[in-house]
Amino acid sequence: MRFSILPAFVLLLPLAEIAGFVVVGRAIGLWLTLALVMLGFVLGVVLLRRQGIGILRRMSSEGRNGVMPGRDLLRPAMNVIASLLLIIPGFLTDIIAILILIPPVRDLVWQAVAKRFVVVNAKSGFSAGQSDFRDRKPNSKVVDLDDEDYHREPDRNSPWSGKHLGD
């Protein structure tokens, strides 16, 4: 998500959730609306307890070790995200959470996210996906410089050496 859209999204999401409460409350009544919100909360807590935050720690440690987090970690990580969305009161976040729990939607997310994984490892450089860093696209935005790579000595033979602005 682009950062220019993020503030508008953060401001409009609560308004959309309130509108969802009003629409659902008019359709099924106050008590059933509150029961649905509580059911979503309880379901999110149960799912989060079952899946655990440990999966996010596992993804982080595998990334630090230079292992590409794969599809086997995506499912539990998406379940954690879905459970957090279920805990947030509101019907729009619940709908997004339910969509995340559907396997074909999860596969679409994997296809979009897998291209953007860059695993950095201090021992062997970095790699994108399963490929070596030399196989990266030439228009990639990742630049990896060592201390020796970024060292500049003044060139005394340059026509601009010794000159100051305005000379």
Amino acid at 9: F
Q: What is the mean pLDDT of the chain?
A: 76
Distance between CA atoms of 99 and 115, rounded to whole angstroms? 21
User: Residue 165: what pLDDT?
Assistant: 56
Phi, psi at 31, each rounded to 5°: -70, -40
Distances (CA, A) of 90 to 18, 26, 68, 80, 160: 8, 15, 34, 17, 63
Averages of pLDDT over each 10 residues, the chain, 167 residues: 74 92 94 94 90 70 66 76 91 93 85 68 48 54 71 70 59
Q: What is the pLDDT of residues 9-35, one digit of tens each?
A: 888 989 999 999 999 999 999 999 999
Report whether 24 contacts 36 (CB < 8 A).
Answer: yes
User: Residue 131: what pLDDT?
Assistant: 45
User: Residue 128: what pLDDT?
Assistant: 47
> Which pair of tokens denotes residue 157?
């033979």
Has this prediction a pTM greater than 0.75? no
Coil/strand/helix, residue 54: helix
Alpha helices in the chain (DSSP H): 6-28, 30-51, 54-64, 71-87, 91-100, 103-114
Question: Whose CA is closest to 87, among 50, 47, 34?
Answer: 47
Report whether 117 contacts 68 (CB < 8 A).
Answer: yes
User: Residue 58: what pLDDT?
Assistant: 73
